[in-house]
Amino acid sequence: MSLLLEGKVVLITGGARRVGAATARRLHASGANVLLHYRSAHADAQALQAELQAVRPDSCGLVAADLLDVAGLPQLVKNTLARFGRLDALVNNASSFYPTPVGEITVEQWEDLMGTNLKAPLFLAQAAAPHLKKTAGCIVNVTDIHGERPLKNYVVYSVAKAGLIGLTRSLARELGPEVRVNGVSPGPVLWPEDNSFDELARQRIIAHTLLRRAGEPDDIACAVHFFVAEAPYVTGQILAVDGGRSINL
């Protein structure tokens, strides 16, 4: 891979596992130094850091934080600047996902799902904006196709992701012309680890994709890389990476 991001610095939330880890690997392979946020996946974060540092020494930092602690979010940006001296991109990848059927929704679920999927990206973007303006940087939010086509029984999650899509477009207006803001909207890429989707449910979802298969984490990582490294005249856009599911529901 050509080093399109050589000398650039990227902060990735939820960067230790799954889509976040794939994104970290993809951006790092393109030359970026990465600061990986994680909440509890300490062992995974350390393993990924060792993997990336073996490729290029002193190119990956780690920071543990609870994104629901809004007062602590500016510290993630400060840690990135302290480690690498600059910030070129913020990838809001971290997310929480579980069902909240009407009649059973609690305030705690609202605070958790809205907090991780919408509030944290807003306040991280606010903290990062002055530094991104200095580098003509960008923000990439990982949204969801169900932000535009709500998923049954996932009311709060769907609303939170709809808000994140709106936030992406609004921030593009607020932070231009210096900072670009875009979103990547995954479809069926990785299944929840709580087995809430059994094999029958998975096959039904895949049947609605035009490509008749689930995606891979690197499909999302490639889209993030495009927005960070190869799209200097693109802002305020949401790219669905879903095998065509969102137009076939």
Q: What DSSP string describes 37-62?
A: EESS-HHHHHHHHHHHHHHSTT-EEE
Q: What is the pTM of this model?
A: 0.95
Mean pLDDT of the chain: 95
Is 154 known to be catalytic? no
| Confidence label for 1 from pLDDT (cuts 50, 70 and 90) | low
Which are the contacts of 123, defined by CB distance < 8 A and separation ≥ 6?
Answer: 70, 73, 74
Q: Is the pLDDT of residue 202 over 90?
A: no
List the single range of 18-22, 37-41, 198-202, 206-210 with lowest mean pLDDT: 198-202
Cα angle 32, 214, 11 (rounded to 5 degrees) comes to 20
List pLDDT tens digits, range 99-111: 999 999 999 999 9
Q: Is the pLDDT of residue 221 over 80?
A: yes
C-alpha to C-alpha distance for 172 and 165, rounded to whole angstroms: 11
The three-state secondary structure class of 240 is strand
Q: Is the pLDDT of residue 93 over 90?
A: yes
Query: What pLDDT is attached to residue 191?
Result: 75
- Find the catalytic residue in 38, 98, 157, 233: 157
- Per-residue tokens: 58: 């002193």
Query: Average of pLDDT values for 153-177?
Result: 98
- Per-residue tokens: 224: 């993030």
- Domains in the chain (CATH in brackets) are 9-247 (3.40.50.720)
